[in-house]
Amino acid sequence: MNILITGIHGFVGSNLVLSLKDHHVLYGLDIIAPMKEGVATTFSWKDIETTAFPMQKLPQFDAIVHLAGKAHDTKNQSAAQVYFDINTGLTQKIFDFFLESRAKKFIFFSSVKAAADSVVGDVLREDVKPIPVGPYGESKIAAENYIKEHFILSTTSPYGYSSSGEEENGRYSGKQVYILRPCMIHGPGNKGNLNLLYNVVKKGIPWPLGDFENKRSFTSIDNLCYVVEGLLTKNVTSGIYHMGDDEALSTNELIALMCEAMGKEPHIWKMNKKMMESCAGLGTLLHLPLNTERLRKLTENYVVSNEKIKAALGIERMPVRAADGIMKTILSFSN
C-alpha cells in the first residue's frame, strides 16, 4: 500500500515507520520535511496552505494516517486557540483531501480525552457521551465531529460510520474511516509523564500515596502499531475505537516496575487516605503543589476498554502485555 502519514517525525510516526516500512511504501506530511529512512518522500504542510492539495503532483495514496496534532500540555501554558488551529484545523484540511482523493482508508488519532477527562463507572467505552474538559479534549472532539458530519453516522451500527448519505450517488463508495482514541501512549523515545515519575523514583523520593489503589490504562507503542497495521490491512468496519493495553496498572505497580528495572527497593508509603485528602484540601486553600485537583489526578481510576478493537481485528489479546511494555519503556530511560 501507498500510505501517507501526517506528523511522521513525531514519536508515534517514527515508530509507525519502523513497523510498516518493510511491507508498504510510506510518505510523510509534517511541518519539516527532512529525509527519513523508510520514507519515500515527506511533504510539508505548506503544500496544502493554498486552496487545495496539488493532487496531480502527488503519488496515489491507498490510506492516510493522521497523527499530526498539538499534544496535551500538562502545565496548561498553551493558548486554547492553538489546539483548535492544529487539532481541529489540520484534521479538517487533511480529511477534506481524503474525501476528494482515491484513498480508501483514513485513520484519525484522537484521544480518550475527547471522550472524558474522568471515567464515570468502571471502564470507558466507545458508547459514552463525550464530555471533554479543556481545549485539548475539546479540539479533538471538534475534529471528530467534523469527520462525522462529512462521513454520515451509520444507522446499522451504534458506533460505526458509513458514508451512506453519499454512497447513494457513489461519491464516497468504498471508503473506510477510523477514529482511534488511545489512552497514554508510551515506548522507547517517549518523554511523557512516565519519564517524570521515573525521575522522581530514581532520586529515591518516597511515594506517599500508596494507600490509593488506583488503576489506569496505558498504550504500548508496539500494541498501537499492531492495531494500526490491522486497520490498514484488514476489512474492519468504520467507527470509533478506544485503544489501550489489556491490563490496567496502579501507580504502585508502576513504581515497583521502575524500581525493578533500576535494581532498587520501592519506597511506597501508605499514608492514610483521609489524612492525605485533608492535606490536599489545605493545599487548595494555600495554593500549595499538592491540592485537591492534583490529588484526584494522581489517584483516580482511568480504565479504558479495548474489547471493541480486539473484536474488530479478530484477536483475543494484544501482542504485548502491559507490564512488559512498561518495562521496555522504563529500561529505555536508563539507556
Residue 151: give its domain's CATH number: 3.40.50.720
Any domain includes 178: yes
pLDDT of residue 190: 84
59 within some domain: yes
pLDDT at 45: 77
pLDDT at 244: 97
Walk along the chain (335 residues) and give the pLDDT tens digit of each residue.
999 999 999 999 999 999 999 999 999 998 877 788 999 988 887 766 554 555 656 778 999 999 998 886 655 556 889 999 999 999 999 999 899 889 999 999 999 999 999 998 899 999 999 999 999 999 999 999 999 998 864 434 444 555 444 443 346 778 999 999 999 999 998 877 888 888 888 998 898 989 998 999 999 999 999 999 999 999 999 999 999 999 999 999 999 999 999 999 999 999 998 999 899 999 899 888 788 888 888 888 999 999 999 999 999 999 999 999 999 999 998 77
| DSSP-derived 3-state class of residue 259 | helix
* Residue 266 within any structural domain of the chain: no
317 SS3 class:
coil
The vertex-178 CA angle with 146 and 112, nearest 5°, equals: 80
Instruction: Using the structure block, give the residue that is written with the C-alpha cell 508515534.
Output: 12
Query: How many structural domains is the chain composed of?
Result: 1
Grid coordinates representing 16 are: 509507525
Residue 283, in any domain of the structure: no
Q: Which residue from 217, 136, 194 is spatially nearest to 11, judged by alpha carbons?
A: 194
Q: What is the pLDDT of residue 12?
A: 95
Range of the domain at 131: 2-251+299-334
Q: Which pLDDT value is given to residue 152?
A: 62
275 lies in some domain? no
Question: Any idea what DSSP says for residue 84?
Answer: I
> What was the pLDDT predicted at 192?
78
Element holding 176 (H helix, E strand): strand 176-182
Report the C-alpha gap between 14 and 32 in whole angstroms: 14
Q: Are strands 2-6 and 63-66 parallel, antiparallel or unpaired?
A: parallel
**What is the rounded CA–CA span in Å between residue 12 and residue 261?**
24
Helix, strand, coil percent values for the chain (each to nearest 5): 40, 15, 40
User: Taking the C-alpha atoms of 126, 151, 69 and 302 in order, what is their torsion angle to the nearest 10 degrees?
Assistant: 0
Q: Which residues contact 96 (CB under 8 A, 6 or more apart)?
A: 150
Q: Does some domain include residue 89?
A: yes
Given a contact cutoff of 8 angstroms between Cβ atoms, the answer to whether 240 and 186 are in contact is no
Which triple of cell numbers denotes residue 108? 484519525
Q: Is 95 exposed, middle or buried (0-12, 13-18, 19+ CB in 10 A)?
A: buried
Cell (9 digits) for 283 = 493545599
Pairing relation of β-strands 63-66 and 105-109? parallel
What are the CB-based long-range contacts (under 8 Å, 24+) for 41-47?
A: 42/8, 42/9, 45/90
Distance CA 120, CA 296 (A): 14
In DSSP notation, 113-158 reads GGTBSS--SS-B-TTSPPB--SHHHHHHHHHHHHHHHHSPBPSS-S
- 101 within domain boundaries: yes
Residue 174: predicted pLDDT:
87
Q: What is the DSSP letter of 161?
A: B
> What's the grid cell of residue 314?
479478530
Q: Is residue 285 part of a domain?
A: no
- Nearest CA among 292, 132, 137, 119 for reference residue 214: 119
C-alpha–C-alpha distance, residues 231 and 108, integer Å: 11
